[in-house]
Structure 1
């Protein structure tokens, strides 16, 4: 149970206009903007989340639109709702400790299993959201190309992976990968993409029904969601990878280095 605060706070909502002519539903646009503010730290973990009525008034949308957006925040483990108490910002655990980056196939081999993968459908093209624009240092509305893959360990589903790169910089990088004529690592080399480090965040959440079906996961089993932002040697972000691991087949292990005895304060 998170440490929930009982202090009363003002709505303090930083409203960004929703595009009412867009094909993207209003509730999803609202979800993206509220998620942005949570990840930016506008509302502290454990503190009250704005009331539905305050969000409704701030964005001039219907109550059902607000409820759909907040439901997405709950599904993403960003907001917790308690009957009779209201909504609170989730106490997400974020680790800034450095870890060794490994490809999924290497992770599977380290577990003593045989890695394989298959691509899931054609390459998808999307306009970036506010959050993705911030991650990739690009403009909202720029296009990204996304490759979706299913990784298997000993021919059993292990995780799904989505790989996102800006279309105008690396147009066509996935074409030969999808057709089976080239490995992804070779495509990166051909386009001069040399990832030297990644920033990684890890969360646990319940996967969607579609993702659960792809991974063959039983009901009630959470997914371990890993998001990695890859950087070039110029410190410029180049790709975003989101991996959904089966929570019953994968655990994250990190080595924690302690300070020397003279530096330790207990």
Structure 2
């Protein structure tokens, strides 16, 4: 690893922050690439003439900012870029969100079937208990890496055209749009959970690793629920972006 041989000890900027800036620039310039191991603490101490405390403070900041992943027993590695998904002001799908950022989303359809609606799904969609719904389960990849496990429930009459739709490379919302059934507004919530053994294997993470559960109910122009989904996102690869708008209402 190259980089400045010394830091500015006359500067009022703390040494750990200077080191963090140096290492961050190496990542952003491509000198250190996602997945590359970081030099050990001792090597950084020797190269930059700083204490282990300074190095550890810099690494903690880098981990907090999502620039590195620190893995117990394995070391520190350059983190893969996190994928941003918008939550507010536009009801867009993951395919559209990522395409707008120049990223490629591919899906593996693991299940597409008509099933009795679980109780919470029937409530969300305003259906009688046990009513038939379409279950669509997809494991979704960003730039070839597993990113989210999505389980979507739709009204039963969608099954015919869904079976004829490319859901591997295509957008579900685009297909719904063509038929006038796309949700135009809804409500989304986020929770944090620990990955089960099965989910961890699907997403390429360790069991117990935090994942973010995004749930959503989508309504059409007649205020009728048409979609409910649960999307389990890798916490180390996802950032949710929220737009806030000031209300002019008098409180």
TM more than 0.5: yes
Query: Which entry has the higher C-alpha Rg, 1 or 2?
Result: 2
2:225 to 224, 233, 237: 237
| Residue 254 of structure 1: aligned partner | 242
Q: Deviations over 1:188-214 (max 9, x none)?
A: 245431321121111111122222111
Partner of 1:133: 122
Q: Which SS does the other structure have where 2:139 is aligned?
A: strand
- Cα distance in 1, alignment partners of residues 124 and 218 from structure 2: 10
Matched, 1:199 2:187: yes
The question of 1:174 aligning with 2:162 is answered yes
Give matches, 1:41-120, under 5 Å. 98-109=88-99, 112-120=102-110
Which of 194, 200, 203 is the equivalent residue of 1:215? 203
Q: 1:149 and 2:138 equivalent?
A: yes
Q: Is the 8 A contact 2:105 2:143 kept in 1?
A: yes
Name the CA distance, whole Å, in 2 between partners of 1:112 and 1:189: 22
* Count of aligned positions: 165
Tell me the distance in 2 between the aligned counterparts of 1:191 and 1:130. Answer: 27
Alignment of 1:228 with 2:225, yes or no, is no
Which structure carries more relative contact order (alpha carbon 8 Å, separation 6+)? 2
Determine if contact 2:114/2:159 at 8 Å carries over to the other structure: no
User: Is the CA contact 1:173–1:188 (under 8 Å) kept in the aligned structure 2?
Assistant: no
Q: Deviations 1:153-197 (Å, cap 9, x if unpaired)? A: 110011111221121x33423211368797534542454313211
Q: SS of the counterpart of 1:220?
A: coil
* Higher alpha-carbon deviation: 155-164 or 104-113: 104-113
Q: In angstroms, what is the RMSD of aligned CA positions?
A: 2.9
Following superposition, the deviation at residue 106 of structure 1 comes to 3.1
User: 2-side partners of 1:232 and 1:179: how far apart?
Assistant: 21
Cα distance in 2 for partners of 1:258, 1:241 equals: 29
Unmatched segments (≥5 aa) in structure 2: 1-86
In structure 1, how many angstroms separate the alpha carbons of the residues matched to 2:237 and 2:169? 30
Q: Distance in 1 between matches of 2:108 and 2:177?
A: 21
Distance 1:251 1:140, change over 3 A: same
In the TM superposition, what is the alpha-carbon distance from 1:251 to its structure 2 partner?
1.6
**Counterpart in 2 of 1:74?**
none
Question: 1:254–1:179: structure 2 CA closer, same or farther, 3 Å change rule?
Answer: closer
Q: Deviations over 1:46-70 (max 9, x none)?
A: xxxxxxxxxxxxxxxxxxxxxxxxx
Determine if contact 1:144/1:165 at 8 Å carries over to the other structure.
yes
CA positional deviation for 1:128: 1.6
